[in-house]
Amino acid sequence: MSPAETDNAQTKKLPGSVLFTCNLNSVRSPMAEALTKHLFGKRFYVDSAGLEPAERDPFVVSVMEEIGVDMSEDRPLAIDAVDIGSFDLVICMTPESCARVTELAHAQAVDIEFWPTLDPFAAGEGGTREQRLMAYRRLRDDLRALIERRFGPCDAAA
């Protein structure tokens, strides 16, 4: 297959739009959103939302800065403020957000996937700052692997 054919095959697999969801839109879903944008640029539209949006977790900002992704201006969004039907694919990272998305999408033509992911706050709770950062880095790296497995290889050097 020529490089052009490979590019065309890859483009056909990509959805037009993806929404990542979790409970707070504070850690997992915004990290997945930022990673996907970093890896795939503007090849498809990406957003994230949570059940009860909370302020961005500062450990997320720190570990994403380590790979050159600035999330300092990113703001949390509520699932109920999003038109689920405007997305081709919704990827839920918690059972609670998956239940809400399924309820909202009952009459919509949207694909829903569940990616159970580590809660780095719980994994690093009670540890040193470095232990907590390691939990967030593990999540970042796990999300990158999931994103690349789902959407294919990308050109980003992050």
Is the CB of residue 14 less than 8 Å from the CB of residue 89?
no
In a domain, 1, yes or no: no
- Per-residue confidence (pLDDT) for residue 148, from 0 to 100: 95
In a domain, 80, yes or no: yes
| CATH at 105 | 3.40.50.2300
In a domain, 104, yes or no: yes
- Per-residue confidence (pLDDT) for residue 11, from 0 to 100: 44
Three-state secondary structure call for residue 78: strand
Report the chain's terminal Cα–Cα distance, integer Å: 26
- Per-residue confidence (pLDDT) for residue 2, from 0 to 100: 39
Q: Taking residues 110-115, what's their average pLDDT?
A: 95
* CB-based contacts of 56, cutoff 8 Å, min separation 6: 26, 30, 71, 74, 75, 76
Three-state secondary structure call for residue 8: helix
**Nearest to residue 123, comparing CAs of 27, 22, 20, 16?**
27
More confident residue, 100 or 72: 100
What's the pLDDT tens digit per position in 32-77?
Answer: 999 999 999 989 999 999 999 898 899 999 999 999 999 988 889 9
In a domain, 90, yes or no: yes
Q: Range of 100's domain? A: 14-151
- Per-residue confidence (pLDDT) for residue 124, from 0 to 100: 63
pLDDT tier at 126, thresholds 50, 70, 90: confident
In a domain, 5, yes or no: no
- Per-residue confidence (pLDDT) for residue 38, from 0 to 100: 95
Positive or negative CA dihedral for 99, 103, 104, 109? positive
Q: How far is CA 119 from the centre of its chain?
A: 13
pLDDT tier at 5, thresholds 50, 70, 90: very low
Residue 9 predicted with pLDDT over 80 = no
* The total number of structural domains that make up the chain: 1
Give the helix/strand (H/E) hosting 154.
none
- Within 10 Å of residue 45's Cβ, how many Cβ atoms? 14
What is the bridge-based pairing of β-strands 89-92 and 45-50? unpaired
Residue 155 predicted with pLDDT over 80 = no
- Tell me the percentage of the chain whose pLDDT exceeds 70: 87
In a domain, 86, yes or no: yes
